[in-house]
Copies of this chain bind each other. A is one copy, B any other.
Amino acid sequence: MTPDFRLDRTLSADELEAVLRQVGHERYHIRHPFHRLMVEGALTRGQMQAWALNRYCYQAVIPRKDAIVLSRIEDRPLRLAWRERILDHDGDGSTPGGIERWMRLATGLGLDADTVASQRLALPATRFSVGAYLTLVEKRTLLEAIASSLTEMFSPQVIGERVSAILQKYPYVDEDTLGYFKPRLTQAPRDVDVALAFVREHARTVETQQLVVDALIAKCEILWTMLDALHFSYVEPGLVPPGAFRPGDGA
């Protein structure tokens, strides 16, 4: 395979899955310098705030993303399975969902909830990346929309690193504040089972397999670009675009 994952023949389902795992190995944001700084304990509180505030925009859009996917699924059993994602993120009215749990992380880091929820101090690059995710699931095929969710294959690893490092190295963050992550360790593998089974079943030609691989690369680029923008504005060279969050704001 070429470095940019061009397939030259139809793969078996297992081979396709292996390529997808290789995409994650090379392109998932666990390799990004900003994540590395976080797990090394090298980020300031202001940088952690910038991360939480921007990542909130991503969390907030997930149920809408999944509603677009849901609207495109004709198979009722698959709709039932996909619907769980919306419940997980929006909550069910009593148990808080992922968005509320992420907000708890943001406020635990000292941010004001209304400021975070308004998204008005987020980096434009964050909003454009999140928008690219919505556009992908709306305009590409359903197969690609589902394949783009497969970054969840790699999320338990990034969450594992993140949670243990934050608890050890950022004394102002407690386990309660990190309540977002624990449920994701069981939700994500369940969601992956559904999405991976769909992809394995429906991508049986080299053309559709390439679409799947490219959709996963595109999703990795979305997550990576969000960290590029954080790194640029809050680490090096530290140029915050006009109107965006500056540590000290919204606290």
Contact = CB atoms under 8 A, between A and B. Distances in A.
A112 to B, nearest CB: 16
How extensive is the interface on chain A, given as a class?
20 to 34
Contact of A241 (B3, B120, B224, B236): B224
A228 B239 contact: yes
Interface stretch (A82-90, A128-136, A175-183): A128-136
Nearest to A31: B242
A241 B229 contact: no
A87 B138 CA distance: 29
Interface SS of chain A: helix, strand, loop or mixed? helix
B124 A222 contact: yes
Interface string A27-50: 100000100000000000000000
A35 to B, nearest CB: 13
Given A131-B135, A132-B131, A231-B232, A124 B225 contact: yes
Interface string A103-115: 0000000000000
Nearest to A217: B243
Contacts of A131: 128, 131-132, 135
Given A4-B243, A124-B225, 4 more contacts: A134-B135, A221-B243, A224-B241, A228-B239
